[in-house]
Structure 1
Amino acid sequence: MTVERQLIRDLAATLRAQVAGLVVKDLEEMLEGLSDDSGLANVWEEFCVQVQGEHSFFWETYLEIVEDFVVGHIDELPLAMQRVLSMGTDVGDGWLDDPEEGGVVPIFADDVAVMLSSDVLALAADFESPSIERYKARGYEGD
């Protein structure tokens, strides 16, 4: 692996973690969610419960909310950072094998959004809190 490629991967990983963290923060700030009387603190915890257990009737809505936040944060990044994230995808990594001479580095927006949404899903799968544990203990399997 070239030094340049390693730098791109390292920077892309840093950006991915930052954007995923911003999405988590956005969801934590949404105090009124889709579940009624769940005892969960916010939409982030509702999403975590969905990821860690059975999906509720609202699963697609949760995914849309996450994707909207992901896309919004990507769009706020400088173009150079969007390109770095794009090169961090499988498609972008493949493009690096045979870049166009003198061409512009492309942005694979859909692939970036999927990659970052997957990062948020992974964070949700591992997230724990007392209110989530109480929710699970009551035997809820989705709302």
Structure 2
Amino acid sequence: MSRIAPYIINAWAGKLGTEVTNKVISELSDMDADLSGDNSGLLNVWEEICAQVQREESYAWPAYVETIRTLLQVAIEELDRASQMALWAVTDEGWDYIYDYGDEPDSAVSAPLCADDTVAHLMGQILSAAADYESPSLYRYIWGADDPSYDDYEDDYEDEDTCDDLCPILVIHRKQIESLDLESTLEFLRTLIPAQDPAHVWSYKNSLGLTIAGYEDDPRELYSIPEVCHYLRAIDQDWSFWFFFLTPSSIRLVGMCLAAAESVAPGKAYIPPDNLAAFLNWGFRAVNLIFDHYGFPESENEKLTEITLQAFD
């Protein structure tokens, strides 16, 4: 398969995936927050989901997961076959089929589409969005109304141009990693920068999610998989603007891979301070290049620096 094909598939599937997940999140946002209690302060079911992803799961978590799964299933079934195929193509099963049979004449007709595979893939994107979601009511629920930083947080939240759309997702698949196919990823990243239009660059600030797909059955953390770390390091040598474009959770993922994080307990990791310092210095150098080149406000650079550092707290 040519290098351009994975790029086209990722781009189309990314757009469709964003549309589907936006639709599901919108539907969840329209549902009343009943299970968290009358005094929770959470505004809707979406915030209940975000609270559990960011804090801890409640006894009713399986019901929330089933609700998400059902809404995804319905949204996918409403798409035409070509769109369903694009979404399925970026799942593990879809990539395997394309690499094995993609050049055969009837491969599109005989593709064994499985909605469950697509639902599982998009479920990951929704939970990733839940991990990054912020609102005053969610912050109050997690940290308490009396938290001394709450007022500042709420002011910052109100000052930001909040985006109703789910963050775009860059999907890097195991097949690309194992074949060290850097160009299919770099082709997209280079559409972000260098770019002639400053507004285009700014529109992606801290909004791009990163998903490493194909390792769901691997018990290791992504930062413990050598080929994943090697792939990201190779990308970083050519394109190192992570801090400007990625969401905080995606910045942390890249940092743990590039700074050689060590697993110390289930769900816990340690990043050697010298490694983290080197990664931060390299990343902030790239951010400064963007701000200098496009003349973005220095105050925004300071905010971005704070967001990046908080990702590693």
TM-score, L = length of structure 2: 0.43
Would the aligned equivalents of 1:71 and 1:113 in 2 still touch at CA under 8 Å?
yes
Match of 1:14 in 2: 15
Q: Cα distance, 1:54 vs. partner? A: 0.9
Whether the aligned pair in 2 keeps the contact of 1:20 and 1:119 (CA below 8 Å) is yes
| Pairing 1:20-39 to 2, within 5 Å after superposition | 20-37=21-38, 38-39=40-41
Match of 1:121 among 118, 127, 131: 127
**Are the aligned partners of 2:53 and 2:131 in contact in 1 as well (CA < 8 Å)?**
yes
Q: Secondary structure at the match of 2:37?
A: coil
Deviation, 1:137, is 2.3
Q: Which runs of 5+ in 2 are unaligned?
A: 146-313
1:76 aligns with 2:83: no
Equivalent residue number for residue 130 of structure 1: 136
Counterparts of 1:33 and 1:123 in 2: how far apart (Å)? 21
Once residues 138 and 2 of structure 1 are traced to their aligned partners in structure 2, the CA distance between those partners, rounded to angstroms, is: 50
**Structure number with higher relative contact order (C-alpha < 8 Å, ≥ 6 residues apart):** 1
Output the amino acid matched with 2:135.
Answer: S
Give the number of the structure whose alpha-carbon radius of gyration is greater: 2
Structural mapping, 1:30-69, within 5 Å = 30-37=31-38, 38-69=40-71
Aligned-pair CA distance for 1:101 = 4.2
Q: Could you say what secondary structure the match of 1:113 adopts? A: helix
Deviation at 1:5, TM superposition (A): 2.7
- Give the deviation of 1:138 after TM superposition: 3.4
Q: Is the 8 A contact 1:83 1:106 kept in 2?
A: no
- The aligned counterpart of 1:110 is 116
Structure 1: tracts of 5 or more residues without a match? none
1:70-108 residue CA offsets vs partner (Å, 9 max, x unmatched): 111001111110011111112111111121542423312
Cα deviation, residue 32, structure 1: 4.1
- Could you tell me how far apart the structure 2 residues matched to 1:78 and 1:101 are? 21
User: 2:90 maps to which residue?
Assistant: 88
Distance 1:62 1:94 in 2: 30
What letter matches 1:12 in structure 2? A
Residue 34 of structure 1 aligns to a residue in which SS? coil
Q: Which has the higher helix share?
A: 1
**How many corresponding residue pairs?**
139
The answer on whether the counterparts of 2:33 and 2:42 sit within 8 Å (CA) in structure 1 is no
